[in-house]
Amino acid sequence: MSLTHYLVLAAILFAIGATTVLLRRNAIIVFMGVELMLNSTNLLLVTFSRMHGNLSGQVLAFFVMVVAAAEVVVGLAIIVTIFRTRRSASVDDVNLLKS
Amino acid sequence: MHTLISLTAPAVVPAVEPVVAADWPGADAAVLLVALPLLSAAVLLLLGRRSDRWGHWLGVLASAGSFVVGVVLLLGMLGLPAEQRVHDVHLGTWLDAGALSIDAGLRVDPLSLTFVLLVTFVGTLIHVYSVAYMEHDAARRRFFAYLNLFVAAMLLLVLADSYVLLFVGWEGVGLASYLLIGFWNHHTPYAVAAKKAFVANRVGDVGLLVAMGLMFATFGSLDFSTVHANVAQASESTLTLIGIALLVAACGKSAQFPLQSWLGDAMAGPTPVSALIHAATMVTAGVYLIVRSGVIYAGAPTAQLVVAIIGAITLLFGAVVGCAKDDIKKALAASTMSQIGYMVLAAGLGPIGYAFAIFHLVTHGFFKAGMFLGAGSVMHGMDDQVDMRRFGGLGRYMKITYFTFMAGWLAILGIPPFAGFFSKDKIIEAAFVPVDGQPWRAWVFGTIALLGAGITAFYMSRLFFMTFEGKKRWSETRDGHEQHPHESPALMWVPMAVLAVGSVALGWVLQAVGFVTWLEPSVGHAEHEEPVLGVPVLIGLTLIAVALGLALAWRRYAVSTVPVAPPVGTVLTRAARVDLYQDAVNDAVLVEPGQYLTRSLVYGDKAVVDGAVTGLARLTVGTGDLVRRAQNGFARSYAAVMVVGVVVLAVVVLAVRG
Amino acid sequence: MSHVLTVLPAAAGALTESGQTSTAEAVLFWVLGPIMVLAALGLLFARKAVHAALAVVLVMISLAFLYVAQGAEFLGVVQVVVYTGAVMMLFLFVLMLVGVDRSDSLVETIRGQRWIGVLAGLGLGVVLAGVVGRATYGTPAGIEEANAGSNPAAIAHLIFGQHVFAMEVVGALLVTAALGALVLTHRQRLTRKVGQRERAERRLREGGYPVSLPAPGVYARHNALDVPALDPEGRPIEASVPRVLRVRGQEADAREYAARIDRVLAGGWATGAGTFTSNRDVDDPHGRTAPTPGTPGTDATETDDEEGAR
């Protein structure tokens, strides 16, 4: 088995995550789709790191995790705030972009 | 009597060079002429109702003041030798724009002083008359403000030393005329009449503007002295164009064919206005303009011929219309038109006629104003009735009006020794003088002038007989009011009497003091020339024509009974009653095409211009509507677009890289 | 920690000469890969958000395994700790906050979004897989050399050496994010806080009952919450019966007791003594047929109303 398999797996996960973002309406699930996409890139980074015999990829994946954690904190806070004011966690109810 | 007649024929026209007023400081007083009535008008208009009690007397005073100043100037000028009688009073630089530099200044010369005296004297009399005539009008003070404004504008018109300043006065009298014709503008027809006069005058103004433009292009200046001094340098065609444009201006202001249609309707104004503006002074401004520009016409024989033709046409036109009108004021207006036709004809004859045109203008100003005031007096006594068919026998009830009107009537007929005989008959004789060795002109214009005299005698006698002679055709009550003709108060008949004295004696007096010679510094000297017929023959013919017209009118309107309802009449009568279809022609030729053009333009504006603009707007809105659908506000849609974009980008990159 | 790592296969991430993975790793991959894909699809299709969250947890734990298998032991542990331990639990908390039993409606509201989403997702997957598959890589170098010593130590060297500035910045970012979350979820108090004291004062201000309500009628022969207490004049006090009973209509008829008390006071001790035994005796027809005129019924309703308003 070559390392390309990891890459393909990462691509599949990424595509599934993106599809989740597009199809689901629950903001939390959409968020989980985003997390899935981040994770798939992490897998990619780790695999590349192994291919190159260089730990920079892993370090980058580490930073991605930290940033993702920060992002999750803020994102969930936003979701909670929106839920408080609108009693809904559906992204479709927040179409305030269209006045 | 014929010995008094000293005809002169064109020689070289010596335009007397204006003298700077240094040697005659009194000329500066001419400013007062304009300033006094203008100040009075401003006071009356600005003070408003506070001046209601004494405003009319202030108006009279201002006009009389101007007259006094005019007399002082006259006395001063009489003390000067003839060659020093043309003065330019410099007031200051008015416009200074590049090549165009115009000085405001007044020209005091015999011609302008003649007008000044006519305007202020007749004007003052009419002011006095109006005090009584307008007594029961709530807006009398405003009326006097307008009258003063008119006097100021008219004096500015005749005193101006440049065409531009003349134009200011020209517009000023137009404005005053508009305001006064529409003085009772709560009657819609009166307001319409005022508007009509205003618009017709604007047509003439365009002529004056064109003339000024041509003059500036040709001579680079617009003041009389420069223009007249440089006429010799201009080509004949240019001078002809200028002359025609000036004639258009004169036609508009003086109600000459084909711009005459407004004058009849202008009788909507109060009668003193008709007397002052639409008989004695403003309508003669066209004659003044032509005479003042005589030097230009001297260089443009074609234009001069056109002037004579227009005068001849209007002369007959007005006379024919006058025969059919039953409205006493409109009959007088037609007569005015016809008489000004005489003046324009005279002015079109060249230097030989200028002096006589002005002469007739002055006498006409007296007797026509007197007759208008008489008509006003009749209306005053007859409860504002103007239909002559409902007068009759009024001479027994209004003695003073009867005699003063009779003086005017005899004067306009040209019966010796009344004023008209000295002025009009000389125009007829001048018309018979061959110009440039072309006898046909003498015959044509002379015959027309002679014919006009006969018709004038007929319609003026008709007017006089229908009003003052014959049986009474008015009933004791009219519209529920009791109707009892009575003489007007002294404030009204005294001015009429003064004017009647002028109608009787002015011609002879002016002849005796050498009025024609007095005007020579302004209009030039013309050598004597013989008409195609002998002078005594012409006088005889004229008197015969007048007698015929008089007799015919006597038979039809004094001896026989005049029907109260107008008879159907001949084709000519019916046409004359509607001003020879002038209004219909104007409507068909100008108004309707104008309205059609306006409507087409409106349609074009809506369809093309608005269509393009709104179409563009609609296109934008439509595009926006389409694009708006993409902006549905759902974050997921935007995300979908992003993902699709990424996919497409990746596919493109892969495809390009193979 | 190092002794934990030594438990792991010593040659984690080791490759053959041709760049192939070891058989053990291949087995691990082929076991975990389908599980991960299925779990990810679970995220996509689960009706309930909790199920989706659990599926993601499964994916993440599997990922941790794959990290360790690829010689990224540190990341594998961090993955478990940070993602499955912290992030996903946070998700679950929020889910509970928002409403755990809420299931997502599957009816698509945006026209065409479903098809666009499916096509875009499939297209993305195909294109990415195509890119990854078609790309040519050199022979994989393997991670053993870089991991010499141990993987955490090597990574620590990099993070605190080469990338120390990024590390600091990321730390600041985390603090900012935490503060941001605090600010976002903070609710501004718009009115003054109402405590016990304020409540008591308000009750007095509104003319309420200043002291505790009288206890229900507890007598020697009858003691139950549904019997009103009697005032010194023998009238029943409606407010002494708990409001819940009154609202439900389970209160005993006060007038009846008043009548009986009157009879007792009049010396009728023996009569009807047996009926005082229990609460249910209220329903006894005998008891109801003898109401004493003059017993204040209107007063009772007024008190009742007042209580109801409270």
By the 10 Å C-beta count (0-12 exposed, 13-18 middle, 19+ buried), B367 is classed as buried
pLDDT, tens digit, 9 for 90 and up, residues B20-77: 445 676 777 888 888 899 999 999 888 888 888 888 888 899 999 999 999 988 888 8
Between β-strands B477-478 and B100-108, what pairing exists: parallel, antiparallel or unpaired? unpaired
Point out the residue among C53, C146, C174 whose CB comes nearest to the CB of A66: C174
Which helix (H) or strand (E) segment holds residue B499: the answer is helix B490-513
Residues of A in contact with B635 (CB under 8 A): 91, 94-95, 97
Q: Would you say B340 and B279 are in contact if contact means Cβ atoms under 8 Å apart?
A: no
Query: What's the confidence (pLDDT) of residue A94?
Result: 60
Residues of B in contact with C120 (CB under 8 A): 640, 643-644, 647
Enumerate the β-bridge partners of residue B597.
Answer: none
**C153 shares a domain with C242:** no
Residue C233 counted as domain residue? yes
Average pLDDT over residues A26-30: 87
**C155 shares a domain with C13:** yes
Q: Does A25 contact B at CB distance below 8 Å?
A: yes
On the question of pLDDT at C103 being above 90, the answer is no
**C238 shares a domain with C153:** no
Q: Given an 8 Å threshold on Cβ–Cβ distance, is A15 in contact with C176?
A: no
- Rounded to 5 degrees, what angle do the CA atoms A62, A67, A68 make? 95
Residue C86 counted as domain residue? yes
Q: Given an 8 Å threshold on Cβ–Cβ distance, is A19 in contact with C121?
A: yes
Give the residue ranges of DSSP H helices in chain A.
4-23, 27-52, 56-86
What percentage of chain B exceeds 90 in pLDDT? 15
Residues of C in contact with B640 (CB under 8 A): 113, 116-117, 120
Q: Does B652 contact C at CB distance below 8 Å?
A: no
Query: What's the confidence (pLDDT) of residue C104?
Result: 61
Residue C130 counted as domain residue? no
User: Which residues of chain B fall short of a pLDDT of 70?
Assistant: 1-23, 25, 436-437, 477-483, 658
Residues of B in contact with C44 (CB under 8 A): none
Q: Would you say C62 and C76 are in contact if contact means Cβ atoms under 8 Å apart?
A: no
Q: Given an 8 Å threshold on Cβ–Cβ distance, is A97 in contact with B635?
A: yes
**C93 shares a domain with C7:** yes
CATH code at position C49: 1.20.120.1200
Of the residues C117, C139, C160, the one at which a domain ends? C160
Of the residues C160, C182, C197, the one at which a domain ends? C160
- Residue C18 token pair: 């041709």
DSSP state of B234: S
Give whole-number Cα distances, B379 to A24, B133, B179, B364, C60, in Å.
98, 10, 22, 22, 115
Nearest to C117 by CA among A90, B643, A27: B643
Q: Which chains touch B (3 or more CB pairs under 8 A)?
A: A, C
Query: What's the confidence (pLDDT) of residue B618?
Result: 93
Closest-CA residue of B relative to C135 is B654
Average pLDDT over residues C216-221: 60
Banded model confidence at residue C222, pLDDT cuts 50, 70, 90 = low
Tally of domains within chain C: 2
**C219 shares a domain with C155:** no
Which helix (H) or strand (E) segment holds residue B526: the answer is strand B526-527
Distance, CA of A88 to CA of A79 (rounded, Å): 9
**C230 shares a domain with C90:** no
- Residue B30 token pair: 């001419």
Residue C114 counted as domain residue? no
Q: Chain A window 5-24: which residues touch B at a Cβ cutoff of 8 Å?
A: 18, 21-23
Give whole-number Cα distances, C292 to B441, C74, C298, in Å.
142, 89, 14
Residue C227 counted as domain residue? yes
Query: What's the confidence (pLDDT) of residue B400?
Result: 86
pTM: 0.60
Q: Given an 8 Å threshold on Cβ–Cβ distance, is A58 in contact with C74?
A: yes
Size of interface A-B (CB pairs under 8 A): 30
Enumerate the β-bridge partners of residue C223.
Answer: C218
Phi-psi region of B14 (alpha: psi -120 to 50; beta: other; left: phi over 0): beta
Query: What's the confidence (pLDDT) of residue B1?
Result: 35
**C227 shares a domain with C294:** yes
Residue C292 counted as domain residue? yes
| Residue C293: strand, helix, or coil | coil
By the 10 Å C-beta count (0-12 exposed, 13-18 middle, 19+ buried), C194 is classed as exposed
Q: Does A91 contact B at CB distance below 8 Å?
A: yes
Query: What's the confidence (pLDDT) of residue C29?
Result: 93
pLDDT, tens digit, 9 for 90 and up, residues B92-105: 888 777 777 778 88
Give the ipTM of the model, two decimals please: 0.91
Between β-strands B481-482 and B477-478, what pairing exists: parallel, antiparallel or unpaired? antiparallel
Distance, CA of B474 to CA of B397 (rounded, Å): 13
Average pLDDT over residues C153-171: 92
Q: Does A29 contact B at CB distance below 8 Å?
A: no
Amino acid making up residue B455: I
Q: Given an 8 Å threshold on Cβ–Cβ distance, is C124 in contact with B646?
A: yes
Closest-CA residue of A relative to B632 is A98
**C220 shares a domain with C89:** no
On the question of pLDDT at C89 being above 80, the answer is yes
Distance, CA of C76 to CA of C152 (rounded, Å): 11
Residue C87 counted as domain residue? yes
**C12 shares a domain with C155:** yes
| Residue B75: strand, helix, or coil | helix
Q: Given an 8 Å threshold on Cβ–Cβ distance, is C116 in contact with B651?
A: no
**C156 shares a domain with C25:** yes
**C296 shares a domain with C224:** yes
Average pLDDT over residues C106-134: 83
Residues of B in contact with C117 (CB under 8 A): 636, 640
Q: At what angle do helices B236-254 and B328-348 cross, to 10 degrees?
A: 160
Query: What's the confidence (pLDDT) of residue B562?
Result: 74
Distance, CA of A49 to CA of B428 (rounded, Å): 125
Query: What's the confidence (pLDDT) of residue C67?
Result: 93
Q: Given an 8 Å threshold on Cβ–Cβ distance, is C131 in contact with B632?
A: no
- Residue B372 token pair: 């208008």
Of the residues C119, C136, C160, the one at which a domain ends? C160
Residue C167 counted as domain residue? no
- Domain with C2 in it: 1-101+149-160
Distance, CA of B417 to CA of B415 (rounded, Å): 6
Q: Given an 8 Å threshold on Cβ–Cβ distance, is A91 in contact with B640?
A: no
**C235 shares a domain with C153:** no
Q: Would you say B502 and B370 are in contact if contact means Cβ atoms under 8 Å apart?
A: yes
Give whole-number Cα distances, C35 to A33, B521, C45, C64, C156, in Å.
17, 126, 15, 13, 32
